[in-house]
Amino acid sequence: MTGDGLQEKAIDQWTREIPVVAERGKFYDRNGRVLVDNYDTYTVYARANAISSKEETAKVLSKVFDLEYNSFLEKIKKSTVSEITVARQISEERINDLLSSEIKGVYYARDNARFYEYGDFLSQVLGFTSIDGNGLTGLELYYNKYLKGENGEILTETDIVGKEINGKNSYIPATNGLNVMLTIDYEVQLILEDVLSRAIKEKDAKTAEVIVMDPNTGEILGMCMKPSFSLNEVPRDDAEKLNAESRNLLISDVYEPGSTFKIITVAANLEEHLKGNKNAYSPNHIFNSSRYRYIDGQKVKCWSDHKNGKHSNLDIGGGLNNSCNPIFVDMAMALGKEKMYEYITKFNFGSVTGIDFVGESQGMLLPVSSVQNVDLARIGFGQTIAVTPLQLVSATAAAINGGNYYAPYLAKAVYSNDNKLVEKRVPTLKNKVISEESSKILNQMLLDVVTSGSGNKAYIEGYGVAGKTGTAQKYENGVIATGKYVSSFIGYFPYDNPKYLALVIVDEPKGQYYGSTVAAPYAKEIFERIIEVKNIKPFV
C-alpha cells in the first residue's frame, strides 16, 4: 500500500462521519408556481462505541421510534460498523423527545423529504423518489443528476476504540440540488385533472388520458392520466397497483390510433399531390362510394353501412368528415408502401420523439419489406400500426402548424437557488414534414370536421376548433376483443394559427364508444375552460 493509501486508511479509522443531506431541487411550472418542494426531517444514528449503556439506549430508542427492543438491542451489541442508522424521516417532535432523554452516543442529522404541493396532480409525469431521496420514476428520475445535489458531512475525530475526542469536529457543507422549471402550465393541468377524474367515472373506463401541447414549439402544457394516486402517499406496499398507476401511458404505451391517424394519410397525399405526383389525389377528387374495398382477396369495409347514400360523392374533406375508411385505403394504396412509409418516417412513427423522460416507446411499425397490400390498406386508416399518444400528438402538431416537426419536451430550464441558469431548453425543429400550403389545406378540412362533421361535439362558436375523431377496436392475444374500444379525439384551436392542441383518449368506455360521442365532448370542455382561465377572446 502506498503512503497516500495508508494515510487515507488512518483517517478513516480515526474519524466518524455524519452526513449533511443536500436539499433536493424543486419543480416549478412554467409560470413559477412551486409544484414539488421539501420539508425538513431527520435521520437518527447510534454509535455503538460511544453508548454508555446499551440496554438503556435500546429502551429509549425503541420507545421514541417504535422499534422492537430486543432486536434493536442485539443490533447495537453486535454491530461491527461505526454508525447504525436508527430511523429515517423523523419529525422534529420526535427529535425533541430524543433530546429530552439525554442519552449518549446517539446523533441526528437534518434530512429532507419530498412534498408534492397538489398530491394527486401530474403524478405519472413528476414521478417519485426513494426514501434515500433519489429519483425512481418520471421527471424525478430523468433530472435526478440536477435535483439531488451533493451531500456534505460532519467529521468527528475519535480515539482508537471509536470514542469521540471532544471538540475535534469539522464541517463540510452540502451543495443543494438545482431547480427545474417545467413547460407544464398549472392552470391547464388543473383543468385536465378535473375533467379526466370525472370522465373515468362517467364512462366507467379503464383509463382516461390527455396531452395538451403548444404545436408551435413542442412544449407540453399539460399531461394527465387517470386513475392515479397522491405522490405524498405512494402505494409502495402494493407493487401491482403502483406499477399500473405510476406508468406514463402517454409516453410508454402504444395503441392502434384508428381514425385519428387519417390526418397523417391526408397530409402525405396532399403533399404528394402538390409536388405533382400523379398517383396522389387532388382535394376535389370524388371517390368510389362503395363501402368496401377488396385488397388481395380480403374485404376492407367502412364502419358505416352507407344507408341513404350517406357516403356517396365524397372528396377528401368529406372522407374526413364522415371518417370513411375506403377513401383512406385508396390514398394509401395509390401512394404505395415506399412513399407512404417515407411520410410515416418523416412524422417520426417507429422512432422515439426524444422527449426528456425515461422509458419512451418507439411504437410498433411493420418493416416496410414485410408490408403486404392489405397491411398498407389498413395503415391508411390507423390499423396495423401502433403508436404512443405522444407520437400522435407530435406528428399532428407538425401536420397542422405549417409542416414543422418539433421535438416534444417537459422542462424549460434548470437553475440554482440564486437563479443562475445551468441549462435552458428551446424548441428543437427536427425536420420539415409537409409544406405550409399542404398544412393550410389540411387545417381547413379538419375545421370542417368539427364545424359540420363527426367532430361537431367539440365545436365552440368563434374559436375555430378543428380536429378528428377516432374509434379503434382493441386486440387481445392477437384477436379483436369483443366490446372493447379506444375512443379518442385530437383537436386544436384556432385552426389557422393553432395555439393549443389536445389529444383525449378514453380506454374501454362502457356504453357508447365512438370518439365523436365520448372523447370529443371532453376535449370541448377542456378548450372552453382554457379559454376562460386564459381570457382568450374569439378569433373568428
Given 123, 259, 394, 438, which residue is catalytic? 259
Return d(Cα 191, Cα 44) in angstroms, integer: 42
- b (16+ CB within 10 A) / e for 208-244: bbbbbbbbbbbbbbbbbbbbbbebeebeeeeeeebee
Residues 6+ away with beta carbon under 8 Å from 25: 143, 146, 147, 148, 149, 176, 177, 178, 179, 180
Distance separating alpha carbons of residues 215 and 502, to the nearest angstrom = 9
Task: Look at the block and give the residue holding cell 414539488.
Answer: 36
State how far the Cα of 20 lies from the Cα of 151, in Å rounded to an integer: 6
- The residue type of 392 is L
Interatomic CA distance for residues 529 and 527, integer angstroms: 5
Which residue's entry shows cell 456534505?
Answer: 152
Under DSSP, is residue 38 helix (H, G, I), strand (E, B) or coil?
Answer: strand
User: Can you read off the three cell numbers belonging to residue 426?
Assistant: 428551446
Beta-strand pair 207-213/220-226:
antiparallel
259 catalytic, yes or no? yes
CA 252 to CA 355: how far, in whole Å? 11
Cα separation, 414 vs 148, in Å, equals 13
Single out the residue of 120, 119, 147 nearest to residue 133, CA to CA. Answer: 147
C-alpha cell at 238: 402494493
Q: What's the CA gap between 30 and 232, in Å, rounded?
A: 22
Q: Which three cell numbers stand for residue 211?
A: 396531452
Catalytic center residues: 259
